[in-house]
Structure 1
Amino acid sequence: MSYANPVISELRDRIASLGCSYGKRATYLPFGVSEIDAVLPGGGMGYGCLHEVAGGGGGTVDGAAAALFVAGIVARSHGKVLWCMTRPDLFFPAVAQAGLHPDRVVFCESDREEEALSAMEEGLSFGGLAAVVGELVRLPMNASRRLQLAAEKTGAMGIVLRRWRRQNEASDYGQPTASTTRWRISTLPSERLPVAGVGRARWLAELMRVKAGACAEFEIGAPDAKGRVCLLPTAPGRADQTARWRNLAG
């Protein structure tokens, strides 16, 4: 994203360089949706940063919509992706439909979350990956700080996909971490088609936290075959329905 005011642009660059321990210039991966990119510092998801994504409502435990949201993000990056998990239940045909080709992904499976966290840190420190995704239940501040520092060192993007075993464990998502952004993705009823079938999946994407920015929420369409989401218009009567789903997500 370009800024018309050169003073503001220079100030943003100076702040970005001060915020990086290794002096790398920050780069960003835009969503390509102006309304979303406008609320993100730099105009997109920052490389060299740690991000958090979780499911809301009925997707708190399975995290299906959140996983596809993450897949769409890393699909638009360039290079290999490391995906660390403790539950081998990722349905890859759906991930491929979100634009993330299996040839680009290296999977790391472990029985213990501590090992998955360690693998994620090693992947971020490696320097040859575009992004590292880790499915974790807990993300303590110290662990998130180590991941953030590792991402800063190499410029890779780190994304923690929070997946809980029980719905009531999701309250942990409000705890402070070193993540740059924190998202919650909840499913909404898809749009009706004029013919028999199911329309494009519709999600409520809540930007719950962002450094140097303001919180926001968007109704978006699921990623297409190139990992691109779209902003969907709110249909008549949809606002009340979305509010009900937001209450369920909370």
Structure 2
Amino acid sequence: MSRVVSMERALRLERLRAEVRGIAAAGKDPAAVLPFGLGELDARLAGKGLADAGVHEAAGATGSYSDDAAATLFLAGIAARRARRHGTVLWAIARRDLFAPGLAQAGLGPDKLLIAEAGNDADVLAVMEEGLRHGALAAVVGEIGRAGLTETRRLQLAAEEGGTMALLLRRWRRDDPLAEPSSALTRWRIGSAPSAPLSMPGIGRARWHVELARQRGGPGFSLLLEASDAQGRLALPALSSHRPDQADRTDERRAA
């Protein structure tokens, strides 16, 4: 008898959880996207932005600390722009290496951030899945070393159920983390680049080599961009061959 009662309670609890998730996800458009707000970048994305209810991955172009930091801040900027519309970001980690002032410079301040400490990749993925299914978060970020097709497919289904964006920070181990198959909608490689020289002593705004290694429904591409600002926004360098006016000048120099 007690076993039957326990099963009934478990079923009622699961129904309540489902209702809460439904309420939290109400009003979210499953086809909505988050544009970068940068024409040169958004025009090259199949959906003209990142799918809100989807998994997106980023990794450093190499295993260097500078490239890892660039990939971290790239995702932090995306999460920050989601947080301005939808609230709080959950960031799941397996090691304590997040630098809060750096995240704040990319627009993700402590008032918009919840950090969950997990013991390993499996725990990080479990925390992410639960957070995504909840439906009340702006985005869920997870730092992992390994996650295959099965794990990323589960995250994609959870993101669709909760209408929440999943951002995977792929950490380098021995080889390229993006060589592993994945169900992610977009997969990015981010590398640090020299900042622009200034007319006075100091360091200019950081620059990144941003490569979209794979996207569902479109080709990959690469751009040289200025790093996320305090609003989480990227920018084209002031003198960039990607800008139409600068491209024209480049063609003129080649013709000469």
TM-score with structure 1 setting the length: 0.80
Q: Choose which of 167, 179, 187 in structure 1 pairs with 2:184.
A: 179
Counterparts of 1:31 and 1:206, CA distance in 2: 14
RMSD of aligned alpha carbons: 1.7
2:35 corresponds to 1:26: no
Q: Aligned ranges for residues 8-157 of structure 1 at < 5 Å?
A: 25-59=30-64, 63-77=68-82, 78=85, 79-157=87-165
Give the deviation of 1:59 after TM superposition. Answer: 3.2
Q: Distance in 2 between matches of 1:61 and 1:189?
A: 11
Alpha carbons 1:204, 1:220 under 8 Å: kept: yes
How big is each residue's C-alpha offset from its partner over 1:155-193, in whole Å with a ceiling of 9 and x where there is no partner? 1000100012x3x332x4122211000000000111110
The Cα shift of 1:61 comes to 8.5
2:61–2:67 contact (8 Å) kept in structure 1: no
Structure 2 distance, partners of 1:83, 1:225, is 18
Distance 1:61 1:121, change over 3 A: farther
Distance 1:90 1:133 in 2: 12
Q: CA deviation at 1:38?
A: 0.7
Between stretches 40-49 and 118-127, larger displacement belongs to 40-49
Structure 2 unaligned segments of length 5 or more: list them: 1-27, 242-256
Q: Could you tell me which amino acid in structure 2 is paired with residue 103 of structure 1?
A: D
**Higher deviation after alignment, 58-67 or 148-157:** 58-67
Equivalent position to 1:214, from 191, 209, 219: 219
Does the 8 Å CA contact 1:53/1:185 hold for their aligned counterparts? yes
8 Å Cα contact 1:54/1:60 also seen in 2 = no
Candidates 197, 207, 211, aligned match of 1:202: 207
* Conserved 8 A contact 1:59-1:186: no
| Count of aligned positions | 210
- CA deviation after TM superposition for structure 1 residue 57, in Å: 2.6
Aligned residue type for 1:169: D
Counterpart residue identity of residue 33, structure 2:
Y
Aligned equivalents of 2:200 and 2:51: distance in 1? Answer: 40
Q: How many angstroms does 1:204 deviate by? A: 0.2
- Alpha-carbon distance in 2 for matches of 1:81, 1:136: 17
> How far apart, CA to CA, are the structure 1 residues paired with 2:180 and 2:94?
22
1:97 shift after superposition: 0.6
| Aligned mate of 2:169, from 161, 170, 177 | 161
Question: Residue 196 of structure 2 corresponds to which residue in structure 1?
Answer: 191
Which residue does 1:10 correspond to in 2? none
Return closer, same or farther for 1:192/1:63 CA change in 2, 3 Å cut-off.
same
Q: CA deviation at 1:62?
A: 6.8
How many angstroms apart in 2 are the aligned matches of 1:215 and 1:113? Answer: 28
- The two structures have a TM-score, normalised by structure 2, of 0.78
Measured after TM superposition, the shift of residue 58 of structure 1 is: 4.9
Identical aligned pairs, as a percentage? 47
Q: How far did 1:42 drift?
A: 2.2
Q: Which sits farther off after the overlay, 55-64 or 72-81?
A: 55-64
Larger Cα Rg: Structure 1 or Structure 2? 2
Distance 1:207 1:59 in 2: 19
